[in-house]
Chain A
């Protein structure tokens, strides 16, 4: 018996070490972006390349955080776009998901299927028509253009993730709350929403990250530098800096920080959302 246990323990260690090695290899690009961002101009061109910065330079960060092309300006734009699109899709899609799950509407199955398909649509399909429409409505070069465009992805996603959760939440709970004196709305607010809180966290995380990561909508709809989010700026910087990779990587590090922070704090929700939102209708 002891022999078997010991064998299992050593197997556990071997497997763990092996998996650790595989994971490190897989995530090596992340390590590389971080170390490269801290290298000086000379070290980034050294051959063979250094695996870790021998001398830590923070020029890439300091230089880009200050000055007239400050990252902070773009970061503000990114936040505006991400938070607004998250909020819009939250307030539109959460009641919609609830409605679809609670009331038997004719054609609600078709509706869900439509949303599933919409989520799969390529951005390039709606890019040209939205561009022409927005230009007619004078929405080009405003925050609203990319925000509205991003919600076309986040709303279907929110619906698809939340609908099964609302369905799993028994309506008897709601009914008893209404007997206790809640009206339909406050029962929804005070009883149902707290139950599906994990789902709400999931869709908020994704709503934010989608808005934050968007490149193509801002690039197409906005030509005004002052409105560029970080993704558009880094794309333009690449052409401007040429091969000052340490600066590009430093910018990249700052750009990936919010999604990674969200991921680390809400890992459980993010993973469940990823699986749930993609597979189930």
Chain B
């Protein structure tokens, strides 16, 4: 099992190493001084939690994740329902929507940065022309609105993913169920409420948990779009950990933040595993 050994080296070892680092005082300074890394217990965690940026990061990460999930899930569900109808263009169009998911995140981030920019951004210009706003918003430059930029961009990436998994779920519901419901006189809304939603539950749970994991660990998108700014307005766990490690060279503190991120994700992943295990045994 060479793959196993390889993965242990490249993943298992870093996870443990990261864990150890988070309890040590490691910075560029003492690495250069000969690599003595004193054990300092929970001091990294204490320092990190005392930091104003950490508070912003906690709030932003959750706010960002929940908003993205709401937007991409509801749009994804609508798209899945739309493209589940039988019409000629359904399949090819559904396929093409997936392009947004395949694109390099770096490009997506830059593209949305361009579209949201105050002077030439198409979004501000469009909103202005239909009279919703009279001044350019300058989304990413404003502390209050900056977080919505990455939320919009990430949802754009996430919608096809939600759509595809929900479509697979929809395809698993037999037509007969709907037919017999029609015979019993159910309206389309009733059918949606009492048949589609309950039977789609497993797919919905899967997509929400996976969406949570993928959104929660966001890095590239925010790093490119705003770099965490303006003034921490879009700082999340991953960007904060990166900054601590690679801008300030407090590797120990960076590791501590990354470890917090890991523990949260690990718990969610465990919930997910429980979930699919239960389904398999059913």
Do A and B form a real pair? yes
A: which residues have CB within 8 A of B? 11-12, 15-16, 18-20, 22-23, 26-27, 29-30, 32-33, 36, 44-45, 47-49, 92-93, 95-96, 99, 111, 113, 115-118, 120-133, 148-149, 151-152, 155-156, 159, 209, 212-213, 215-216, 220, 231, 234-235, 238, 243, 245, 248-249, 252, 255-256, 259-260, 262-263, 267, 270-271, 274-275, 278-281
B3 and A155: CB pair below 8 A?
yes
Q: Within 8 Å CB of A12, what residues of B?
A: 87-88
Residues on the B chain within 8 Å of A23, using CB: 93, 96-97
Are B259's CB and A125's CB within 8 A?
A: yes
Known contacts A27-B97, A27-B99, A32-B115: does B120 contact A126 (CB below 8 Å)?
Answer: no
Give every chain A residue within 8 A of B107 (Cβ-Cβ). Answer: 33, 234, 252, 255-256
Note all chain A residues with C-beta closer than 8 A to B220.
215-216
Q: Which residue of A lies closest to B161 (CB)?
A: A274
Chain A contacts of B104 at CB under 8 A?
Answer: 212-213, 215, 231, 255-256, 259
The 8 Å CB contact of B111, one of A93, A130, A252, is A252
Give B109-151 as 1s and 0s: 1 = Cβ < 8 Å from A's Cβ atoms: 0111111010110100100010000000000000000000000
Q: In the complex the two chains form, is A152's CB within 8 Å of B7's CB? A: yes
Residue of B89, B110, B223 near A248 (CB, 8 A) is: B110
Interface string of B3-33 (1 = CB under 8 A from A): 1101100110111011001000010000100
Residues of B within 8 A of A213 (CB): 103-106
Contact B269 A95 (CB under 8 A): no
Q: A122-B238, A280-B276 given. 10 additional CB < 8 A pairs?
A: A23-B96, A48-B129, A99-B1, A123-B217, A124-B237, A126-B11, A127-B246, A155-B6, A213-B106, A216-B223
Q: Does B100 contact A (CB under 8 A)?
A: yes
Residues of chain A within 8 A (CB-CB) of B245 are 127-128, 131
- B164 interfacial by beta-carbon distance below 8 Å: yes
Please determine whether A92 and B6 come into contact, CB atoms closer than 8 angstroms.
yes
Hey, which chain B residues are within 8 Å of A215, CB to CB?
Answer: 104-106, 220, 223-224
A131-B245, A275-B168 given; A29·B156 CB < 8 A: yes
Docked pose: A209 CA to B99 CA in angstroms: 12
> Would you give the shortest CB distance from A106 to chain B, in whole angstroms?
13
Complex CA distance for A30 and B262, rounded to whole angstroms: 34
Which B residues lie within 8 Å of A249 (CB)? 110-111, 114
Q: How far is the CA of A123 from the CA of B8 in the complex (A)?
A: 16
Interface residues of B (CB under 8 A from A): 1-4, 6-7, 10-11, 13-15, 17-18, 21, 26, 31, 79, 82-83, 85, 87-90, 93, 95-108, 110-115, 117, 119-120, 122, 125, 129, 156, 159, 161, 164-165, 168, 206, 210, 213-214, 216-217, 219-220, 223-224, 237-238, 241-242, 245-246, 251, 254-255, 258-259, 261-262, 265-266, 269, 273, 276
B103 contacts A256, CB within 8 Å?
yes
Chain A hits for B125, CB < 8 A: 47-49
CB of B102 within 8 A of CB of A209, answer yes
Q: How far is the CB of B199 from chain A (nearest CB, A)?
A: 16
| Contact B102–A33 (Cβ < 8 Å) | no
Contact call A125/B242, Cβ cutoff below 8 A: no
Q: What is the distance, in angstroms, from B124's C-beta to the closest C-beta of chain A?
A: 11
Q: For the complex, give the distance between the alpha carbons of A251 and B35 in Å.
A: 42
17 contacts between A and B (CB under 8 A): A15-B87, A26-B97, A30-B99, A36-B114, A45-B119, A121-B15, A124-B237, A126-B15, A127-B246, A128-B254, A131-B245, A152-B7, A212-B104, A243-B119, A267-B95, A274-B98, A279-B210
Tell me whether B10 and A113 are in contact (CB under 8 A).
Answer: no
Q: B7 contacts A156, CB within 8 Å? A: yes
Measured CB to CB, the closest approach of chain B to A225, in angstroms, equals: 17
